[in-house]
Amino acid sequence: MKAMLLAAGRGERMRPLTDHTPKPLLRVGDRTLIDWHLRKLARAGFREVVINLSWLGDRIRAELGRGEDYGLDIVYSQEPSPPLETGGGLFHALPLLGTDPFLLVNGDVFTDIDFTALAIEPELLAQLVLVPNPPHHTAGDFLLHAGQINEQAGESLTYSGIGVLRPELFAGCNPGRFPLLPLLQRARAAGRLGGQKHAGTWLDVGTPERLAELNATLAT
């Protein structure tokens, strides 16, 4: 299975930190945020990783190269500015990802999710990792019941930004900017959206305050 790492965003909520540094290269502890993800992917046995780029993408490309330092083969999906949003960016990268299911990892999160424990059933279009609703998102994103994400009943949880997706999820899409959520909602309505809860470490590193909180936690 290939992995897709999202790293194209401008990081508006992280300004001014991201005015001159792409968010994936911000420091988390003794390494960059994207370094944590790449090391974790390598330890989980992944070898092929696609990374989308837009804002200050040349900095990321120069830092990571082809992934030799991680034992990975990294290829880049270059997007225009502004970037194509999550749905459009994934659709743009599909030629690099191939026809098999792929692991999606949002570069904005910090987590101890075990990538080796993620899989997708044949009838599903996507399998999402969900987490308890954080203080900044108490409404949650999806209802999970017995491994199925549905519209009626279940535990309210937040999408972690991590999951396994099939390219068929993007059937009927056209090139351009569009979000991922409507495609997930379409799969949910068709009964083809699975989910699993992760109760361990997870943080949306979306603001300078949360980055500082994470660094303080790691320091202790």
DSSP code at position 79: -
- Whether residue 11 is predicted with pLDDT greater than 80 in this model: the reply is no
Per-residue pLDDT tens digits for 138-178: 999 999 999 999 988 899 999 999 999 999 999 999 999 99
Quote the CA–CA distance of 107 and 3 in Å, as a whole number. Answer: 12
In single-letter form, the type of residue at position 6 comes to: L
206 pLDDT tier (thresholds 50, 70, 90): confident
pLDDT of residue 63: 95
- Whether residue 89 is predicted with pLDDT greater than 80 in this model: the reply is yes
pLDDT of residue 165: 98
Delineate the domains of the chain, giving CATH numbers in brackets.
3-219 (3.90.550.10)
pLDDT of residue 30: 87
pLDDT of residue 42: 97
The answer to whether 100 touches 122, Cβ cutoff 8 Å, is no
pLDDT of residue 52: 98
Helical spans, DSSP H, in 106-207: 181-189
218 pLDDT tier (thresholds 50, 70, 90): confident
pLDDT of residue 64: 97
pLDDT of residue 92: 98
Per-residue pLDDT tens digits for 182-197: 999 999 999 999 999 9
Per-residue pLDDT tens digits for 25-63: 999 998 999 999 999 999 999 999 999 999 899 999 999
Quote the CA–CA distance of 62 and 190 in Å, as a whole number. Answer: 42
Mean pLDDT of the chain: 94
Phi and psi at residue 79, to the nearest 5°: -115, 160
- pLDDT average, residue stretch 198-205: 94
Per-residue pLDDT tens digits for 94-131: 999 999 999 999 998 999 999 999 999 999 999 999 99
Whether a cis peptide bond, with omega within 30° of 0, leads into 16 is yes
pTM score, whole prediction: 0.94
DSSP code at position 137: G
The answer to whether 107 touches 37, Cβ cutoff 8 Å, is yes
Contacts of residue 162, Cβ cutoff 8 Å, sequence gap at least 6: 103, 104, 105, 106, 109, 111, 113, 118, 128, 129
The answer to whether 22 touches 58, Cβ cutoff 8 Å, is no
Phi and psi at residue 199, to the nearest 5°: -105, 5
Helical spans, DSSP H, in 52-205: 57-64, 85-97, 181-189
Helical spans, DSSP H, in the chain: 33-43, 57-64, 85-97, 181-189, 208-219
Quote the CA–CA distance of 149 and 110 in Å, as a whole number. Answer: 23
